[in-house]
C-alpha cells in the first residue's frame, strides 16, 4: 500500500469521507486522493514525493503560482505582528480601496472569510434591501453551501446529489426554506422572461455565476445577460454577480468587465486572498448601507479582514495588476486548450475546449455545452479514463467532469508542452 492510500485510510477514521471538501474524495473518478506535501509554481508533490503539474491551483486562488516569493514574504511580515486582532487595520482599508478601484460597480465592500459567507450575506442583504423573499439561481451554478442555495447546485453536489427534482440538493435543508428559491436553466432567456412576468415584483435577487465554473466552464450568451440585467432593473430586483471564482481570474475587473454588465452586488473570493481564507461582497453604497452597524441587516465575522489574509490579497492584486499579466495568462491558457484539442483530433476523440483568462473547460463532446443539461450529456466515462491516464503521467486535473480548470502565470511553455505530450498519450489509449 502506497503512502497516499495509507493516509487516506487513516483520514477516513477521523474525517468524514477522509476529506474536508467533498470533491477531493475522487468519488466521481474513483481511486485514491493525492495527499499534498508541498507546492511551488505550477507543481505540487504528493506524499510519495511524486511531482504533478497542477491544473486546479487550489480551485483558482493561486494565479501567481504556488508559494510565490513575493506573496510569501508579505505573509511572513504580516504574521510577525499577529494573525488576528479582531479590530480594524489600515490594511483592510487599502484592500477595500483597491477592490473598489478595480471593480467600479463596487462602491463599498465588506470582507468575510469564505465564498459561502459572501454569497449568503449578499442574499440576506438583497432581501433586507428589497423587503422580498424570493431569489432566483440557475441550474448547475454553485454559490456555496448556504441552505437556500442548495437547490440543483453545481460543483461537488453534481457528483453526490440527486438533482433531478426541484428539491434540496443536500440533506438537512428544509423544503420550506428552498421554496423561496426559484431555479432556472442557465442561458434560457424565455424561462427568465416568463418567471419575471409572473413573479417579478416578488423577486428579491438573482444570483448568477457570470461565467459558470461549477458545472465545468459554461459561458452565458450576450442576450441572456442583457435580458437578465434589464429585467432585474425593471422589477427592482438585486442582480448579484457571484465572482468568487471569476473575480481577478478571467480579467482584472472580473467577468463583468468583459461583459459590460454592472451588477448591483458582487461576491469575490479565491484570487483576492491569494490562497488565504478571504472573500468579500460589495456593490452600490445605497444597498451596502443597509448592513450593520448602519442598517438592520446583520453580518459579522471574527476573522474577517485578518491581517495575514489581507497581506496575501494585497500582494496578489499587485502582481496581477502588472502590465501584460492577463495577456500572458490568457495566451498560455488558450495555447494549452489548442494543444489538447489538436491531440484529441489526431486521436479521433470527440473533444471540445473553451477558456477565458486563466480559467478553462474541456468536454468529451463534439461541441462546447451551454447549459447544465448539455454538460450531463457529455461522455463522463471518457473523462474518468482520461483523468487517470493524465494523473499517471503527473498531470493533476479536477477530479470531476463538472469542474472548470485553472492555470497560473507560472504555467510556461515548457509546462504546457509536458501537459500536451501527456494528453497525446492519453487520447491514444482512450
The residue behind cell 479582514 is 305
Among 178, 175, 164, CA closest to 134? 178
Kindly name the residue from 152, 270, 315, 384 that is annotated as catalytic. Answer: 270
Contact 253, 279 (CB under 8 A): no
Annotation says 242 is catalytic = yes
User: 3-class SS at 120?
Assistant: helix
176 catalytic, yes or no?
no
Among 242, 315, 326, 384, the active-site one is 242
52-75 burial: b if 16+ Cβ within 10 Å, else e: bbbbbbbbbbbbbbbebeebeebb
Tallying the residues shown for the chain, one arrives at 430
CB 186 within 8 A of CB 169: no
* 108: Cα within 13 Å, side-chain hemisphere: 11
424 is known as an active-site residue: no
Q: What per-residue string of b and e applies to 167-184 under the rule 16 or more CB within 10 Å gives b?
A: bbbbeebeeeebeebbbb
Chain Cα centroid distance, residue 297:
26
CB 359: neighbour CB atoms within 10 A? 24
Could you give the count of Cα atoms lying within 13 Å of 83 in the half-sphere of its Cβ? 4
Contacts of 366 by beta carbon, 8 Å cutoff, 6+ apart: 350, 352
78 in Cβ contact with 311 (< 8 Å) = yes
End-to-end alpha carbon distance in the chain = 27
| Residue 277 dihedral angles phi and psi, to the nearest 5° | -65, 100
CA distances from 105 to 99, 109, 154 (A): 10, 10, 26
User: Measured in whole angstroms, how far is the alpha carbon of residue 350 from the centre of its chain?
Assistant: 26
Q: What is the DSSP string of 284-338?
A: -HHHHTTBTTTSSB----TTTT-HHHHHHHHHHHHHHTSTTHHHHHHHHHHHHHH
Which residues are annotated as catalytic? 142, 242, 270
Amino acid at each position: 500500500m502506497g503512502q497516499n492510500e495509507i493516509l487516506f485510510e487513516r483520514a477516513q477514521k477521523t474525517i468524514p469521507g477522509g476529506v474536508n471538501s467533498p470533491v477531493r474524495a475522487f468519488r466521481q473518478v474513483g481511486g485514491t486522493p493525492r495527499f499534498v506535501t508541498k507546492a511551488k509554481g505550477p507543481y505540487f508533490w504528493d506524499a510519495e514525493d511524486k511531482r504533478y503539474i497542477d491544473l486546479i491551483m487550489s480551485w483558482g486562488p493561486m494565479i501567481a503560482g504556488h508559494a510565490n516569493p513575493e506573496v510569501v514574504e508579505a505573509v511572513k511580515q504580516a504574521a510577525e505582528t499577529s494573525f488576528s486582532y479582531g479590530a480594524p487595520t489600515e490594511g483592510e482599508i487599502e484592500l477595500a480601496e483597491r477592490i473598489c478601484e478595480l471593480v467600479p460597480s463596487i462602491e463599498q465592500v465588506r470582507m468575510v472569510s469564505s465564498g459561502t459567507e459572501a454569497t449568503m450575506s449578499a442574499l440576506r442583504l438583497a432581501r433586507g434591501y428589497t423587503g422580498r423573499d424570493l431569489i432566483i439561481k440557475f441550474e448547475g451554478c454553485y454559490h456555496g453551501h448556504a441552505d437556500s442555495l442548495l437547490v440543483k447546485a453545481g460543483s461537488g453536489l453534481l457528483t453526490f446529489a440527486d438533482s433531478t427534482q426541484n428539491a434540496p440538493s443536500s440533506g438537512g435543508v428544509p423544503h420550506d426554506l428552498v421554496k423561496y428559491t426559484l431555479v432556472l436553466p442557465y442561458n434560457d432567456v424565455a424561462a427568465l422572461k416568463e418567471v419575471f412576468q409572473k413573479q417579478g415584483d416578488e423577486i428579491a435577487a438573482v444570483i448568477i455565476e457570470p461565467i459558470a465554473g461549477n458545472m465545468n466552464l459554461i459561458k452565458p450568451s450576450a442576450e441572456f445577460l442583457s435580458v437578465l440585467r434589464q429585467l432585474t432593473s425593471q422589477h427592482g430586483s438585486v442582480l448579484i454577480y457571484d465572482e468568487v471564482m471569476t473575480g481577478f481570474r478571467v480579467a482584472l475587473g472580473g467577468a463583468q468587465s468583459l461583459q459590460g454588465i454592472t451588477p448591483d452586488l458582487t461576491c469575490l473570493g479565491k484570487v483576492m486572498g491569494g490562497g488565504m481564507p478571504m472573500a468579500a461582497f460589495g456593490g452600490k453604497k445605497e444597498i451596502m448601507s443597509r448592513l450593520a452597524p448602519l442598517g438592520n441587516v446583520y453580518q459579522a465575522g471574527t476573522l474577517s479582514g485578518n491581517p495575514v489574509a489581507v497581506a496575501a490579497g494585497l500582494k496578489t492584486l499587485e502582481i496581477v495588476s502588472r502590465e501584460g499579466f492577463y495577456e500572458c495568462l490568457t495566451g498560455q491558457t488558450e495555447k494549452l486548450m489548442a494543444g489538447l484539442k489538436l491531440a484529441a483530433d489526431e486521436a479521433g476523440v470527440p473533444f471540445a475546449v473553451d477558456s477565458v483568462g486563466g480559467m478553462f473547460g474541456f468536454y468529451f463532446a463534439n461541441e462546447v455545452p451551454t447549459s447544465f443539461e448539455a454538460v450531463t450529456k457529455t461522455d463522463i466515462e471518457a473523462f474518468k479514463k482520461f483523468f487517470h491516464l493524465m494523473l499517471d503521467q503527473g498531470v493533476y486535473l479536477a477530479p470531476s467532469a463538472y469542474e472548470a480548470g485553472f492555470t497560473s502565470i507560472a504555467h510556461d511553455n515548457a509546462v504546457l508542452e509536458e501537459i500536451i505530450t501527456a494528453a497525446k498519450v492519453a487520447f491514444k489509449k482512450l
